[in-house]
Structure 1
Amino acid sequence: MATSRISFRMAQAFGVVGAAWLSGNIAALSLISVPALSRSQAQDSVQPGILSKQWKYNYEAGKTQNPPVAVAVAASFSYLAWSVRSGTQLGRLAPAHSVQLFSTAAILTIGIIPYTIIAMRPTNNKLLAKAEQEFDLKGASASVTSDDREVGELLKKWTFLNGIRSLMPLLGSAAALLAA
């Protein structure tokens, strides 16, 4: 029983901290990175092609890093829900509704993946297409073009959608804390 309690506590710590870290990692893009890109467009007349390529590098880093973290954290929460199910030794010691709270935490955390695919894919694809376009870097003027506005609007939309996505693991972390 002592070993299962230690494993349980380690899974709790990993899940709560991992979900909170994931939330912060995702939110940093909406709160710091993309606003800095938008600022470089507004203040330094950075062209939309360069701006969208810079966004693409952030996107690729997040796409590589965040889904595996979400899967690991959701697996931890799933283990916790399984551990406190009815009829188990830990289940008798756990607060009421722990199974539901840990399950909710797992669903919210892993939910960043389908949310990205369903809600964010159209915006992502448009920004990625902009990043792949060839732009004339030598003869560009400082005037605002339709591409400038379109990339700016896409970045605003992406920032909003990503901000919502960042709340999912944060809520998952809070649900797991309530279960503890």
Structure 2
Amino acid sequence: MSSYSLAFRAVQVLGITGAAWLSGNISVLSMNAIPRLAHSGREHGATLNLVAKQWNSIYDTGKAQNPPIAILITSSFLYLAWATRSGGPFFRQARSSCARFYFAAALLTLSIVPFTLILMNSTNTALRKLAASSEESSRNADVQSASLLERWVTLNGIRGLLPLAGSVVGLIGALV
């Protein structure tokens, strides 16, 4: 067994558990919160325009909270990759492939940002427009809102898997 410093082990724990936590934080919206909001809207007669406003509030919270957390976790994995690379301070204790796993974990975790900007932007923009609308709900708007929310739930569910994959790859890096 290799002997790493306590600080190094703490960074491993931060990266691996942080990425798993971030995955859960993102995924719970697709598994529970947003589908429940939409269902509750239909069940209790709330317009999907109101549901879109509630989605927007949740979205704004995640938009403010998750990027800094993703950067911290990514930084942890990048430090681990740097420290275990050839010539790094922990190179002798680490297996040769260890740095590659940590680097891949960093990329997977940070990839939530381009995923959001590239693949989710049009859906987010459309939902934000619906949330900002002061129009009374119509059947057409409700159908559009429901469709957009379903698409968002799917895309966000996929996005939530990225830091989970980062956590698993980081764990493999710690175990090899």
Q: Where in structure 1 do 4 or more consecutive aligned residues deviate above 6 Å?
A: none
Contact persistence 2:27–2:156 (CA under 8 A): yes
- 1:40 matched residue in structure 2: 40
User: Which residue among 149, 159, 163 is the counterpart of 1:169?
Assistant: 163
**Aligned letter for 1:175?**
V
Does residue 88 (structure 1) correspond to residue 88 (structure 2)? The answer is: yes
**Aligned letter for 1:69?**
I
| Secondary structure at the counterpart of residue 78 of structure 2 | helix
Q: Residue 89 of structure 1: CA displacement?
A: 4.4
Deviations 1:113-142 (A, max 9, x none): 111000000000000000000034xxx7xx
User: Which residue among 132, 153, 158 is the counterpart of 1:159?
Assistant: 153
RMSD: 1.5
**Aligned letter for 1:5?**
S
**Aligned letter for 2:97?**
H
Q: Residue 88 of structure 1: CA displacement?
A: 3.1
Write the distance in 2 (CA, Å) between the matches of 1:157 and 1:95. Answer: 42
TM-score, scaled to structure 2: 0.93
Write the distance in 2 (CA, Å) between the matches of 1:112 and 1:89. Answer: 30
User: Which residue among 140, 153, 171 is the counterpart of 1:146?
Assistant: 140
Structure 1 unpaired stretches of 5+: none
Does residue 98 (structure 1) correspond to residue 105 (structure 2)? The answer is: no
- 1:8 matched residue in structure 2: 8
- 2:69 matched residue in structure 1: 69
Deviations 1:22-76 (A, max 9, x none): 0000001001110111112221221122111000011000000000000000000
Identity across the alignment (%): 40
User: Which residue among 168, 172, 175 is the counterpart of 1:178?
Assistant: 172
- 2:55 matched residue in structure 1: 55
Write the distance in 2 (CA, Å) between the matches of 1:31 and 1:105. Answer: 24
Does residue 131 (structure 1) correspond to residue 125 (structure 2)? The answer is: no
Residues paired across the two proteins, number:
172
Write the distance in 1 (CA, Å) between the matches of 2:18 and 2:88. Answer: 25
Deviations 1:89-109 (A, max 9, x none): 411211231111000000011
| Secondary structure at the counterpart of residue 91 of structure 2 | helix
Write the distance in 1 (CA, Å) between the matches of 2:116 and 2:134. Answer: 27
Contact persistence 2:85–2:96 (CA under 8 A): no
